[in-house]
Amino acid sequence: MPGLAQAAAFNVDHATQLWLRTLSGPAKARSDAYFEGGEWLGLWGALISVALCWFLLRIRLLPAIRDIMHRRGWRPWLGMLACAVVFIIADTVLSLPWSIYEGYWREKQYGLMNQSLGAWLGDQAIALALNVVLGSLLLLVIYAVIRRFPKRWWLIGTGVMGAAITFGVLITPVFIVPLFNTATELPNGPVRERVVAMAKANGVPAEHIYLIDSSRQSDRISANVSGIGPTIRISLNDNLLNKTSVAETAAVMGHELGHYVLGHVWRTIIVLTLLMGLLLWLASRIAPALIRYGGEGWSVRALSDPASLPVLAGVLSVLSLLATPVTNTLIRVDESEADAFGLDAAREPDGFAAAAMKLSTYRKIEPGPLEELLFFDHPSGKTRVTMAMQWKKDHVPNAVEVVPPPLPEPKTPAPQP
């Protein structure tokens, strides 16, 4: 247990600094290097996506598929489906070296990956199968809308995307998560008792609380209240259960319950749908101009042509990158609200601070204001610890500072970003 330091008056800034000092030396260097290097991944990922789309346009892969389907007398929707499947597979295969670097090698380098390369590739194969099935069906519907409503397709497409996002949230806990991890009932004990008590006190269904075996993939701690309607589930991963105290776990789960009580899932669906509508509207202006520019060199006839998929995908990749500060801010606002809710629900400010510091082993602990605004989709560790200490001062009579022990130092020095 952290030591206690008596204080005549609880000082929020000093109490915060005591917690921040638990991450220092090589551990802080590793955290900063990991996060700062990650700030560039979105940019490089978008550039690689655009380059691959340009390559597919230059080799005229989809026009060849389109023409073969046409010569064989296949129905237009089957030709569209074939182009979508080929595009998804080609894009995934061509981007595999980057995916291995970003999703496996870099995570392994920073000590965050527990899988072998073979196991990781197995998960990627499952993800590819899901993308082929669900992604191609979504593209089939989007292109049907483009053909039927060439002027206002983006407006109807926004509704389609909203339905797709909602469907994804609905099915993920029950049908998607089990493809990658095993979920079992959280065993009876102090953690389950605390979670059930908080859930019942806040009107959250708690008949089942699931433990996810995420440690087979990474050492990250995590929890969520996922799904909507009949698929709502309270889940925490085994890293959270095994690497945190009961007070820390309760603080994290109070935060996750806040997302449910505050209606963040529905708000996120609505906001992301509206944002997607804006991106589709911009794409409806930009993509046709690019197709006219490409001309015969690409063999793409119009946006309604299934061979235009690389154009639309490339445009949306760039627009999504530009929208990143907006999406980060929207998510960060929800996370901050859930933090405040979780502090009230769990009443564990020091547990909350301890959990925030453990998360900061791979999230930069003290970013500058602009850096946090642009690149953080969660409040920074310093912001969260400060909030917890302010809550403690306001709600705990005769509050005392804690002197927590340092977080474990990494076994190896921080890699160069």
Question: For the segment 365-393, what is each residue's pLDDT rounded down to a tens digit?
Answer: 999 999 998 999 999 999 999 999 999 99
284, part of any domain? yes
Mean pLDDT of the chain: 92
Domain enclosing residue 81, as ranges: 41-181+265-326
Residue 232 has pLDDT above 90, yes or no: no
Cα 407 to Cα 29, 54, 271, 274, 349: the distances in Å are: 13, 47, 37, 42, 18
92, part of any domain? yes
3 versus 238: the higher-pLDDT residue is 238
- pLDDT digits 0-9 by tens, 353-363: 999 999 988 88
Can you tell me the distance from the alpha carbon of 223 to that of 109, in angstroms, rounded to the nearest whole number? Answer: 24
Can you tell me the distance from the alpha carbon of 119 to that of 217, in angstroms, rounded to the nearest whole number? Answer: 9
- The conformational region for residue 10 under phi > 0 = left, psi -120 to 50 = alpha, else beta, is beta
State the residue for tokens 């073969």: 68
Residue 203 has pLDDT above 50, yes or no: yes
First to last CA, the chain: 35
Query: For the chain, what is the domain count?
Result: 1
77, part of any domain? yes
69, part of any domain? yes
> For 1-20, what is the mean pLDDT?
76
> For 96-119, what is the mean pLDDT?
95
Can you tell me the distance from the alpha carbon of 337 to that of 332, in angstroms, rounded to the nearest whole number? Answer: 9
State the residue for tokens 């101009």: 289
128, part of any domain? yes
Residue 202 has pLDDT above 60, yes or no: yes
Closest CA to 76 of 311, 306, 310, 309: 306
Can you tell me the distance from the alpha carbon of 4 to that of 19, in angstroms, rounded to the nearest whole number? Answer: 12
82 versus 2: the higher-pLDDT residue is 82
- pLDDT digits 0-9 by tens, 23-39: 988 889 999 999 999 98
210, part of any domain? no
> For 42-68, what is the mean pLDDT?
95
16, part of any domain? no
Helices 324-346 + 246-261 axis angle, to 10:
120
Residue 358 structure tokens:
């453990």
Q: Which amino acid is it at 253?
A: M
Give 333's contacts (C-beta < 8 A, 6+ positions apart): none
- pLDDT digits 0-9 by tens, 284-306: 999 999 999 987 889 999 999 99
Task: Give 159's pLDDT tier (boundaries 50, 70, 90).
Answer: very high
Percent of the chain with pLDDT over 70: 96
Burial of 175 (0-12, 13-18, 19+ CB in 10 A): exposed
β-bridge pairing 401-403 and 3-5: antiparallel
Can you tell me the distance from the alpha carbon of 357 to that of 246, in angstroms, rounded to the nearest whole number? Answer: 16
331, part of any domain? no
Name 3's bridge partners.
403
Q: What is the pTM of this model?
A: 0.91
Please tell me the predicted confidence (pLDDT) of residue 294.
87
Give 57's contacts (C-beta < 8 A, 6+ positions apart): 294, 297, 298, 300, 310, 311
Please tell me the predicted confidence (pLDDT) of residue 6.
45
Residue 60 structure tokens:
């005229």
